Amino acid sequence: PSAAAEQELTDGFHLVIDALKLNGIETIYGVPGIPITDLGRMAQAEGIRVVSFRHEQNAGNAAAIAGFLTKKPGVCLTVSAPGFLNGLTALANATTNCFPMILISGSSEREIVDLQQGDYEEMDQLAIAKPLCKAAFRVLHAADIGIGVARAIRAAVSGRPGGVYLDLPAKLFSQVMDAEAGAKSLVKVIDPAPAQIPAPDAVKRALDVLKGAKRPLIILGKGAAYAQADETIRAFVETSGIPFLPMSMAKGLLPDTHPQSAGAARSTALKDSDVVVLIGARLNWLLSHGKGKTWGDAPKKFIQVDIEPKEMDSNVEIAAPLVGDIGSVVAALLAGLDGTWQAPPADWVNTLNTKRDENIAKMAPRLMKNSAPMDFHGALGALRTVIKERPDAILVNEGANTLDLARGIIDMYQPRKRLDVGTWGVMGIGMGFAIAAAIETGKPVLAVEGDSAFGFSGMEVETICRYNLPVCIVIFNNNGIYRGLDTDPTGRDPGTTVFVKDSRYDKMMEAFGGVGVNVTTPDELKRAVDAAMDSGRPTLINAVIDPAAGTESGRIGNLNPQSVVKRK
Ligand code: ADP
Ligand code: MG
C-alpha cells in the first residue's frame, strides 16, 4: 500500500469534538437536525454528555445556567436559521446576565448565503448574532477549528463573562485533514479567566470611603455568586460587621438567616445607607438605577467592585471604583480591614435589625395558613420549610407573583442555589435551568413556576422524564397570567390573561411516565414535594391557587404603561 493510503485522517466533526474535550467541555445541550445531527451522535459516542431538548431556547437556557454554575462556558448546539434564532434568544439573555455560554450553530453554504440565492435555511447567522453577544466567530477551514473553539472559550469566560456565537457551516464538518496535523492544530486554552488584581490606590481609596461611613451597606449580586469566592466574601462581610443585602441570585452566598442580613429591611437599608459597597451587582433597574425615591435623600457614596471597567458611573457617580475580579478585590479589601477598622455604629445596625425582625414577624402568620384555596403566602410557607430542611437543593423560580413572593419568602442557605429570571426578568428559563442544574450538580431541583411562566418551556417535561432527572416542578396554578379572572368585555373570547380553568398540569407529567400530583393545601404540597425529593423521580405538582390571589405584574406593576384616553 502507498504511503498516502496509510495516512490517517480526521475531519471537521472529530476536530470540533476533540477541541471541546481538550478544553474540558463535558456536556452539550441542543436540538439535533441538519447539519449537526451526526455531530451530536459522534460527540455522544466520544463520551460527551449530549442532552437533547425539544426547543432550542430551552437548550440555550440550560447552557447559560450551566455556565453560571460552573464558570465554564455552557455549550448549546443548534441547526441553522430558525434553530439558531431560537438559541440566540438564550445567548442574548446569557450575555445580558454575564453568564458564559457558547452557541454553536450549523449554517448553510457561504457561497449561496452570501449571494442570497435561496439555500435550505439560508441566513447570515454571524451578522445577526454579532450585536447580541460578546463575540461571534465563523470557522471555514478544518485546520482553524482548534483556534475557533479556543477563541470562543476565552471570549466567553474572560473579563465580564457572556455569550459567544460560533458559526460552523455544513461543509466544514466533512472537510478532511491529516490526523496528526489536526491534533496539532487544537488549542488547550491556558488560564482562560485570569485573575485581575485591583490597583493598590483604588483599594486604598475604597477603604478610605468605607472607613468614613456611618451607615454602610454591602450589596451582593449574582456576579459575586458567579465568582465562587464564597469564603473570602463571607470573611469580608463578617470581619467588617457591615449589614448586607443579597440580590436575588446572590441569596445564600451568606445564609438569609445570617445575623447581618438586611434582606427583610431592604427599603430602609437602601434609603438610609450612606456608603454602599456593590459587589458584582449593577445599578440597573433592579436597583432603581441608584437614584430616586428608593435611595432616599441623604447623600450616598458608592464603592463598586466589578470586572468590567465600563460598568462604573453607568447610572450614578461611583466614588470608589474597584476594577478587578471579585475574589482578588474582596481579598484586598479584607486585608485592608486591619487593626484600624471599627465596626459600623450600633444605632445603624440596630435600626436595620429591628426593622428586619418586625417585617419577619409580620409575615409569619400568613406563611402558616393551611387551608384551601391556597394563596401564594400559604403555599410558599410550605416550600420555605422544604428548602430549610434541604438546603443543598437547587431552587429554580419564575413567574410574576410566584417569583416576587418566593424571592422574599424562601430563605436560601448556600451559594448558587437560587436560579431565576435574572436581569431581564424573562419568562421561559424554568425547565432549561432546572435540567442543567440537575445535570451539572447532581442535586435535587425544585422548580417553583407560575402557570404562565411554565408554559414557555413546559414541553421539556418530556426531556426531564427521558433523562430521569431529580426535578420536582411545582406549578402555582391560579388559572392565568397574574390572576385568573379576566373576561373579554365583548363576551366573545376568554379574557386575554386567563388560561383554561382548573387545568391539570400534573397529567402532562404522567403522560411521559413521571409522577403527577394535584394538591389543594400547603400540607399536601409539602408532603408531595418531600416525596418527590426523597424518591428523586421526575415529579410535577399542580398546586391549586386562588385565582383571585396575585396582583398585576407582581411587584413591577409600575412598569405597565397606562392609557390616558377613555373610549366612549
Ligand atoms: P444582580 O442582578 O445580581 O444585581 P448583575 O448581573 O447586575 O447582578 O451584576 C453582575 C456583575 O458582576 C456584572 O456587572 C459583571 O460584570 C460582574 N462580574 C461577573 N463576574 C465577575 C467576577 N468574577 N469578578 C468581578 N465582577 C464580576
Ligand atoms: Mg398564574
Q: How many residues does the chain have?
A: 568
Q: How far is the CA of 518 from the centre of ligand 2 (A)?
A: 16
The Cα–Cα gap between 457 and 450 comes to 12
Q: What is the DSSP string of 500-545?
A: STT--THHHHHHTT-EEEEE-SHHHHHHHHHHHHHH---EEEEEEB
pLDDT average, residue stretch 488-502: 96
The Cα–Cα gap between 481 and 132 comes to 29
Give the model confidence (pLDDT) of 143-179 as tens digits: 999 999 999 999 999 999 999 999 999 999 999 999 9
For the chain, percent of residues with pLDDT exceeding 70? 99
Whether residue 373 has a cis bond before it, omega within 30° of 0: yes
Q: What is the ipTM score, two decimals?
A: 0.98
Which residue from 71, 160, 403 has its CB within 8 A of the most atoms of ligand 1, so it is best to mutate?
Answer: 160
Q: Which of 250, 239, 241 is nearest to 278 (CA)?
A: 250
Amino acid making up residue 509: M
pLDDT at 213: 98
Give the model confidence (pLDDT) of 464-479 as tens digits: 999 999 999 999 999 9
**pLDDT tier at 500, thresholds 50, 70, 90:** very high
The Cα–Cα gap between 154 and 150 comes to 6
**pLDDT tier at 339, thresholds 50, 70, 90:** confident
Which residue from 294, 314, 326 has its CB within 8 A of the most atoms of ligand 1, so it is best to mutate?
Answer: 326
The Cα–Cα gap between 66 and 73 comes to 7
Asked if residue 227 has its Cβ within 6 Å of ligand 1, the reply is yes
φ/ψ of 234, rounded to 5, equals -60, -45
The per-residue b/e assignment along 503-517, b for 16 or more CB within 10 angstroms, e otherwise, is: bebbebbeebebbbb
pLDDT average, residue stretch 482-505: 95
Nearest listed ligand to the Cα of residue 407: 1
Asked if residue 307 has its Cβ within 6 Å of ligand 1, the reply is yes
Please indicate, yes or no, whether the overall pTM of this predicted structure exceeds 0.90.
yes
pLDDT at 555: 85
φ/ψ of 483, rounded to 5, equals -140, 170
Nearest listed ligand to the Cα of residue 304: 1
Q: Tell me whether residue 288 is exposed, middle or buried, using C-beta atoms within 10 angstroms of its C-beta: 0 to 12, 13 to 18, 19 or more.
A: middle
pLDDT at 224: 98
Average pLDDT over the chain reads: 97
Q: Which atom of ligand 1 is nearest to the CA of 226?
A: 20
Q: How far is the CA of 10 from the centre of ligand 2 (A)?
A: 53
In Å, how far are 261, 328, 409 from 355, measured between CA atoms?
12, 33, 16
Q: Which atom of ligand 1 is nearest to the CA of 223?
A: 12
**pLDDT tier at 3, thresholds 50, 70, 90:** low
- Confidence check: pLDDT of 288 > 80: yes
Number of H helices, E strands in the chain: 23, 19
Nearest listed ligand to the Cα of residue 499: 2
pLDDT at 564: 86
pLDDT at 566: 77
Asked if residue 423 has its Cβ within 6 Å of ligand 1, the reply is yes
Give the model confidence (pLDDT) of 505-543 as tens digits: 999 999 999 999 999 999 999 999 999 999 999 999 999
**3-state class of 333 per DSSP?**
helix
Q: In what order do the strands lie in the sheet with 515-519?
A: 418-420, 394-398, 445-450, 471-477, 539-544, 515-519
Q: How far is the CA of 464 from the centre of ligand 1 (A)?
A: 30
Distance linking the first and last C-alpha atoms of the chain: 91
Residue 357 C-alpha from the chain's centroid: 30
Give the model confidence (pLDDT) of 39-62 as tens digits: 999 999 999 999 999 999 999 999
pLDDT at 553: 86
